[in-house]
Structure 1
Amino acid sequence: MNQNSLFFRARWRLAIWYSGVMGIILCIAGVGAYQMMVHAHWQGLQDEIESVAGTLHDTLEPMLQQPDRMSPYVQNVLPNLCVVTEPCAKNQQNLSNRHILGVTQTNAYYIHFRDRNHQTIATVGNLPEAEFNQNSVWQMIQDNQGHRYYQFSLLLKNSAGLPWGYMQIGRSMAEYEQHLSESRLALLLGLPIGLVAIAIASWYLTKIAMQPVYTSYQQIQQFTADVAHELRTPLAAIRATVESSLAMDVLLENDSRNILSVIERQNSRLSQLVGDLLLLSRLDIETSSSHFSPCCLNDILSDLIEELAPLALTSNLNLKLNLKTETRIFVMGNESQLYRLFSNLIANAIQYSNVNGKITVCLTMQDREAIAYIRDTGIGIAPQDLPYIFDRFYRANRDRSRTTGGSGLGLAIAKAIVHKHRGNVQAISEFGKGSEFIVSLPRLLT
């Protein structure tokens, strides 16, 4: 494919388009995944802070008594509590035997208790400097070093149900921002690697995708060249005959008849070639099988054996039909096409069989298939030619084909008809000992 500049350029354009589209999809998917991850982590952060705040709220409210004053019982829950009216060192004693809310012992969290006038009562942890905003439950604050904290505020009530003050719980955003930063770095590094992988995959996938097109293009080129070659031979013969006739001053009656006989023979060859090409073209174009009808293979093969028997006798060949079952076997199809199918195969066997040879046509059925065998004791097919015998204009023995007038379309037509009828045809041959063609068609169940 790389040797053909047209397909090479088309492959490049297809690979670029594929890479571009897949790259855009990958980028959009990456950005979308990152945004979803940010949202999920942010929601998880809020849920975590709310959970801690709810636990502290339910635990501390029964301990709170006098508004705006910290109860000494709170220190049982928060041993690192620092009350503004007492030295903080007094409160940092070892209270390992008391219940401690573990999450508040980490450096990521702080707790700020305020009275009803928003003045500080006590703190837990490293408290960033920030103004109290009573109108905002959630607040993003930043200290002098640029560290950010996400803070949640809620009102506390004492054991009597009266407002006691406010509690603010904040969490450092450092871990969250570090995780997002690592995710962005992984995404920024992964996207170019993914784009390179897409580009490489696109180059190879476009080769695979265009290979059938390129193969079809080569087949069309070869088919066109073969048709031109087959048409050129009879046309050249007709032209040479006419030119030689025109060069003669006087034409005798016998010469005229010979000239007309040559022209008629070449014209017949041209007509047969054109007819075969038109049949192949129709078989390739037609996709509908609505015109199919039940066809009896027993009758078709019996008529063909009767019709081709004189031709076989002329070549001193023994042609016979062997029906493996007495049941009449029907298939859905076009009777004239099926007739042409088996006619080509049997005529091909007669054409390439040795004198005093034997040709046997068998018909049987297996499961849901009708199977026909055409066996001959002819010259056989060489192993290197066997895979190509159904190709158009392919002739294993070109010298003999010229003497018998074959154009190399008989087996191609047979294969096209079989595929049109959703069947299969294969050839088994041993060079010098004969060949066997096996045709299987879907059987019409009665």
Structure 2
Amino acid sequence: MIRQDSPSPAVARLRRTRRLMTLLFASTTAACLVVLATVAIRIDAGSRRSGLDHEVGSRAVGLSRAVWFDAGTLHLEPLREDELARGAQVSAVLQAIPGESPSVRNVAPGRSALPGQDRLDQVWQRVLEEQDTVLLSAPSSEGGRLRWAAAPVWDGDRIGAAVLVGTELARSERDHDVLVRWLALGCTALVCCAAAVGHLLSGRAMRPALRGLGQQEQFLAEAAHELRTPLATLRLVVERGGSSDEALRLVDRLSRLVTGLLARARMEAGAQRVDLVPLRLDQLVETTVEELPDHESVTVSSEPVVVLGDPDLLAQAVRNLVENAQRHGGPAGSPVEVTVTPGLVAVRDHGAGVPLADRERVFARGVTGASGTTSGTGTASGTGAASGTGAGLAIARWVAELHHGTARLADAPGGGLLAELRLPTDPARASSSSSSHEGRGTVGA
């Protein structure tokens, strides 16, 4: 059965494409903003750290120049009046005799604001090794995180002391965190705006396609109505006029052909979708053959087979294969054998067959048989007027591919041609095929 629920598969695909374009637009914008925000955050963190280091380093160097040694005595009196000392959050002077741990003098605001003695020893050793101002991060004894600068004070040709200045990292980190939060909020707002703009632009870009799909759907619906109505009227006229059964068969065949071609056009245009349901393939084939006008020459051998499929489409494919075999498989009334086994419908005729090189070509649209020595597909070795419409086998293969199966021709044992319609019997695979075709609408033949 063919479902015609709204929206059609083509419209659903366009809507999915629109959502994908919106997501892509927003993702691209988000990626660019994340890169820019990351660069800004790193630059800000580095700038703040450099500024902090410059501040404490300059203060420590300035204070180290305010004190001096005189005959081995360190004079710290200037620190009591120095603006740099009063403006420092934490300051101290480390003094040591060579080979001993440094002692702490002139601590402000208190000893607990300094790092532990082990860390002070490390600072002193770095000053002695580098003989220049050193910078490091170390916690105070109270647990606060501070940035420290230690500048050496020279006593002749040796370092006799070091001025230690510290400043808290918390204030700078709080300002940095505020920047990060504002960047996160700004980027989120910009991504939302980008998604809205992308959704709007993709919708405007797809309006012509949606209008085209609507017009195509309307045309196909009108074509279906306009073609079926005169065919139904023609059949009534033929019946009332007492025309031959052959005329009725031709009208019925034309009606089925028009219905199949319109269904195929609607599905390939995405206006309809196929709905695969569990069905008895053997019963479907038997019923389809019984409905043929010349079913007396067709014998069916089957065993119970269950597949997932569209009953109308499968019936059309089987009908096309059998009618081709009847029409081109030898003289009128020549026997045709149909065999149904798990996953396979085989139609055998007793005609001249099809050359191996032409067995794929005959499944193409518009390829018709010719008068002369014909085979079970309507393909002839001679030349002459074309017979048939060239759509029967093309539709059969299209139906097979729509059901995730195949259609092919092979030599029949003992002569003749074997047309095979293979369908998957694995329910999981068939279900996967059903989902796939609902998304795509159809698989072209």
State the TM-score, normalizing by the size of structure 1.
Answer: 0.39
The higher-RCO structure (CA 8 Å, 6+ apart) is: 2
